[in-house]
Amino acid sequence: MASGAAAASSAVRRDSRYALLFLLPTLVLVVGFVAYPVVYSSVLSFYEWNGTATPVFVGLDNFLRLAGDGFFWAALARNLAVAASAIVLQVLLALVIAYCLVRIVGRIGRLFLFLYLVPVIVSEICIGLLWRFIYNPYFGLLNAALKAVGLQSLATGWLGQSSTAFAAVVAVMSFTYLGLYVLLFVAAVRNVPDSIYEAAALDGAGHFRSLFSMTIPMVWDSVRANVMLCIIGSLKTFSLVFVLTNGGPNHASEVVSTYLYKIGFNAFEMGYAATIGFAQMFLTAIGAWIVFRGLRSSKAGRGD
Amino acid sequence: MRLRAVALGIAASVSMSFSALAGELTFWHAYSGQQDKVDFINYALEEFGKAHPDIKLNVVAAEQSSYKTKLNTAMASGNPPDVFYTLPGGFLGAFVAGNQMYSLDDALAKDGWGESFLSSALAQTTMGGHTYAVPIDIDSSVFWYNKKLFAEKGWTAPATYDQLLELCEKIKADGLVPFALGNKDSWPATFWFQYLEMRLKGSGIVSGFVAGNADATLGSEGTEAFKRIADLSAKGYFPVGFNGMSDQEANMLFLNGQAAMMLNGTWQIGASADASDDFELGFFPFPTVAEGKGDQSDILGGVAAAFGIAEKTTNKEDAVTLLRFLTSPAVMTKYVELRKTMVTVKGATTEAAAGPVLYGISNDLMGKAANLDPFYDTAMPPKGTDTYYTSLQGVLDGSVAPADAAKRLEEALKAK
């Protein structure tokens, strides 16, 4: 017995040694390209550095500046608004669409799924450029469509007006990322056994009832994962804002990442940019954790 | 972002590792992406190879937009290229402050190399009495107008600011946009502020701040300039949604005849090259402002690009040979011919190479200008540029008061 256990544990040790060996290349890359930059940027956040001269240690100055930087907090508030809109317009809407594709539409659902996925496959930069054409006040499709249906009074310079720029960007984000969540939810909804729906149908449940009372609790784990994914994505969103408005006009659509980019690569204030990046990472982690905890307890509540 | 900086740094150090060999130079330039730039650099490097077969160049090409980050990363990691493209003003100033640029004073003093440049251009790459880069081309900004449209409607190019405003009313009454402007990237509107400041107060304001003059100020003219811009915008002289449109989109309006005029850089000549037959490009100087204190003949114009040598370079002799070759009259005339841009080498902007419009600007406007005032946004320290850009966007859309914008800009210019 004793020798058997020893042999087993040495086999485990050997296996874990092999596992480590296979993980090594990834580990090197993670340390070199993730861990090291994160540590380096957190160190840099205590310095003032223009990218060329010797960094100057400034203690907590960058963090104090961050605390009083209205542009940063306004940008963070916009990230939170993006997250809130994404939970409704991306995750919730995707769940409803996934339910319809699986339970109602049937076979042609695959075609729709493909169409929803097109924006996910195309690069965000291309999507952003396409939408710039759609939004163009003079040649764009959107204003032309409004004119065609007699709503020319609504036609405006969507991306160029402080009042509409941010909403216009959020709309593009919703269109772009919706497909990803549809895909993930379709897989989850398909896994719900038919027998449950049949039982519910016998009890007289309609689609509305079976979506909210059965599908959502049954796929709750994917709801949690997708909400989390969408919050993290929203807090670090960059490319669409960058291409569509570059955060303008006058910061009207600025999010944290575009602000960071401007501070770092236009103003060359690398130390302060690192501080912003560090704060963004920290706040995103905390935000995701709170929401994840919140969703777990609400599931327990349902279960009772 | 962080990841990208590190990746660039590694790429930079890998490409740098051969630089120590004698007779070899690493050469970085930003003439990539656009065909005219590629044609020029191919021509120049090929000719250089023929003239100096003993010097081997390791060429790294980048696009203008990514080049600044790339060069900054290389400089920061202590692996600068030997000879490289740089921008004048604050960008070059940061390298000079970090003692990373080789002073060209001795080389320029030899064989009249220094005298071959326009002194106003060389002044823009000279800091603290030392020249750290050789200027290549000059961009300047003037008013462009659609000659055919003007002839058809019976409009004439205005000479004074009041005439310009009157003309705008006429253009608007005809259902057209007076000025094309695509200000998404914020630099296109800067010409408006700078010209108004130059006409109202004079040239050299921002250069004064950069040089650290204690009495440098935008003055009440700064507020007045912003106020006039807000006024133009409120009157609807710019296109709808201009703050969200790119310069290319604004150009579509201008070239299609939907907008009549445009205040833009000399690159407008290239941008108008393939317009339809209904379009003919004309230019006039920024109108005079009656009560202005500045010299009314001044032109907004600055060195667009320059080439410098890193202090670390071991092979400085060959590096200077390369710079002298690039700025030789023959290469520079070819530059004018291919890129339709004025160059800093005297006599290289010939009428045959430049074409009538560019030669006219070079001869009639630049030749008669009392001062050339370099572009504020590249002359000021990079930290101030974002404040300048966003304040201007805000003034144009009415969300920032002119006086506040002037105050914000003045503070940004004074900050070190």
User: The domain that contains A94 carries what CATH number?
Assistant: 1.10.3720.10
Over 50: is that where the pLDDT of A262 sits?
yes
Asked if domains B2-137+303-354 and B140-300+373-414 share a fold, the reply is: yes
The single-letter DSSP state of residue B308 is E
Contact partners, residue B356, CB within 8 Å, separation at least 6: none
Q: Do B399 and A252 touch (CB under 8 A)?
A: yes
Q: Which fold has domain B140-300+373-414?
A: D-Maltodextrin-Binding Protein; domain 2 (3.40.190)
Q: Are residues A118 and A205 in the same domain?
A: yes
* Residue A63 confidence class, pLDDT cut points 50, 70, 90: very high
Q: Do A157 and B73 touch (CB under 8 A)?
A: no
| Section B390-408 average pLDDT | 95
Q: Quick check: helix, strand or coil at residue B304?
A: strand
ipTM: 0.81
Query: B26-61, pLDDT tens digit by residue?
Result: 999 999 888 888 999 999 999 999 999 999 999 999
- Which residues from A are below 8 Å from B89, CB to CB? none
Q: Are residues A175 and A26 in the same domain?
A: no
Q: Quick check: helix, strand or coil at residue B137?
A: strand
Q: Are residues A126 and A247 in the same domain?
A: yes
| Whole-number Å distance between alpha carbons of B392 and B42 | 39
Note whether residue A53 is domain-resident. no
- Which residues from A are below 8 Å from B245, CB to CB? 136-137, 157, 159-160
Express as a percent the part of chain B with pLDDT over 70.
94
Of A41, A157, A262, Cβ closest to residue B242: A157
Note whether residue A217 is domain-resident. yes
Q: Please give the C-alpha separations between residue A59 and each of A37, A44, A194, A250, A264, in angstroms, as whole numbers.
A: 20, 10, 61, 30, 19
The C-alpha of A115 sits at a distance from chain B's nearest C-alpha, in angstroms, of: 29
Over 70: is that where the pLDDT of A155 sits?
yes
Q: Are residues A23 and A172 in the same domain?
A: no
Phi and psi, residue A57, nearest 5°:
-70, 125
Phi and psi, residue B215, nearest 5°:
-95, 10
Contact partners, residue A22, CB within 8 Å, separation at least 6: none
Q: Please give the C-alpha separations between residue B177 and each of A22, A276, B6, B225, B235, in angstroms, as whole numbers.
A: 65, 41, 46, 21, 11
Query: A167-222, pLDDT tens digit by residue?
Result: 999 999 999 999 999 999 999 999 988 888 888 888 888 888 888 888 888 999 99
- B214 CB within 8 Å of a chain A CB: no
- Which residues from A are below 8 Å from B383, CB to CB? 267-269
Q: Are residues A37 and A139 in the same domain?
A: no
The C-alpha of A273 sits at a distance from chain B's nearest C-alpha, in angstroms, of: 10
Q: Please give the C-alpha separations between residue A28 and each of A78, A93, B279, in angstroms, as whole numbers.
A: 36, 40, 59
Q: Are residues A155 and A38 in the same domain?
A: no
Q: Do B397 and A161 touch (CB under 8 A)?
A: yes
- Which residues from B are below 8 Å from A61, CB to CB? none
Q: Do B2 and A38 touch (CB under 8 A)?
A: yes
Note whether residue A101 is domain-resident. yes
Q: Are residues A10 and A118 in the same domain?
A: no
Counts for chain A of helices (H) and strands (E), in that order: 16, 2
Domain coordinates of chain B in residue numbers? 2-137+303-354, 140-300+373-414
The C-alpha of A155 sits at a distance from chain B's nearest C-alpha, in angstroms, of: 10
- Which residues from A are below 8 Å from B7, CB to CB? 33
Q: Do B244 and A165 touch (CB under 8 A)?
A: yes
Over 80: is that where the pLDDT of A302 sits?
no
Q: Do B241 and A265 touch (CB under 8 A)?
A: no
Q: Are residues A29 and A169 in the same domain?
A: no
* Residue B98 confidence class, pLDDT cut points 50, 70, 90: confident
Tell me, what amino acid is at B310?
Answer: A
Q: Are residues A254 and A291 in the same domain?
A: yes
| Whole-number Å distance between alpha carbons of A163 and A146 | 18
- A265 CB within 8 Å of a chain B CB: yes
- A42 CB within 8 Å of a chain B CB: no
| Section B358-366 average pLDDT | 86
- B23 CB within 8 Å of a chain A CB: no
The tally of domains found in chain A comes to: 2
Query: A120-135, pLDDT tens digit by residue?
Result: 899 999 999 999 999 9
| Section A285-295 average pLDDT | 87
Q: Do A250 and B393 touch (CB under 8 A)?
A: yes
Note whether residue A279 is domain-resident. yes
- Which residues from B are below 8 Å from A55, CB to CB? none
Q: Do B394 and A265 touch (CB under 8 A)?
A: no
Note whether residue A52 is domain-resident. no
Chain A residue with the nearest C-alpha to that of B101: A52
The pLDDT, as a whole number, for residue B270 is: 82
Note whether residue A56 is domain-resident. no
Domain that holds residue A15: 2-44
Q: Are residues A22 and A103 in the same domain?
A: no
The residue assigned the tokens 């916009």 is A78
The pLDDT, as a whole number, for residue A297 is: 58
Indicate the average pLDDT of chain A.
89
Greater confidence, B176 or B4? B176
Q: Do B1 and A161 touch (CB under 8 A)?
A: no
Query: B175-234, pLDDT tens digit by residue?
Result: 999 999 999 989 999 999 999 999 999 998 998 888 788 889 999 999 999 999 999 999
Q: Do A157 and B243 touch (CB under 8 A)?
A: yes
| Whole-number Å distance between alpha carbons of B234 and A183 | 47
Query: B293-337, pLDDT tens digit by residue?
Result: 999 999 999 898 999 999 999 999 999 999 999 999 999 999 999
Query: Under a CB-based contact definition with an 8 Å cutoff, are residues A270 and B5 in contact?
Result: no
Chain A residue with the nearest C-alpha to that of B253: A138
| Section B90-103 average pLDDT | 89
Note whether residue A55 is domain-resident. no
Q: Are residues A150 and A293 in the same domain?
A: yes
Whether the CA torsion A145, A146, A147, A149 is positive or negative: it is positive
Q: Do B98 and A37 touch (CB under 8 A)?
A: no
Over 50: is that where the pLDDT of B16 sits?
no
Q: Please give the C-alpha separations between residue A104 and each of A101, A109, B73, B118, B160, in angstroms, as whole numbers.
A: 6, 9, 55, 75, 70
Contact partners, residue B56, CB within 8 Å, separation at least 6: B23, B24, B25
Q: Do A41 and B73 touch (CB under 8 A)?
A: no
- Other beta carbons within 10 angstroms of residue A290's beta carbon come to 11
Note whether residue A32 is domain-resident. yes
* Residue A2 confidence class, pLDDT cut points 50, 70, 90: low
Find how far residue B319's CA is from the centre of its chain. Answer: 25
The pLDDT, as a whole number, for residue B226 is: 97
Residue by residue, DSSP assigns B67-125 as HHHHHHHHHHTT---SEEEE-TTHHHHHHHHTT-B---HHHHHGGGTGGGB-HHHHGGG
Q: Are residues A31 and A162 in the same domain?
A: no
Greater confidence, B382 or B400? B400
Give the dihedral of Cα atoms B79, B83, B84, B86; nearest 10 deg: 100
The pLDDT, as a whole number, for residue B355 is: 87
Over 90: is that where the pLDDT of A13 sits?
no
CA atoms within 13 A on the CB side of A182: 27
Express as a percent the part of chain B with pLDDT over 90.
62
Over 80: is that where the pLDDT of B268 sits?
yes
Give the dihedral of Cα atoms B133, B134, B136, B139; nearest 10 deg: 60
- B183 CB within 8 Å of a chain A CB: yes
Q: Which fold has domain B2-137+303-354?
A: D-Maltodextrin-Binding Protein; domain 2 (3.40.190)
Over 80: is that where the pLDDT of A53 sits?
no
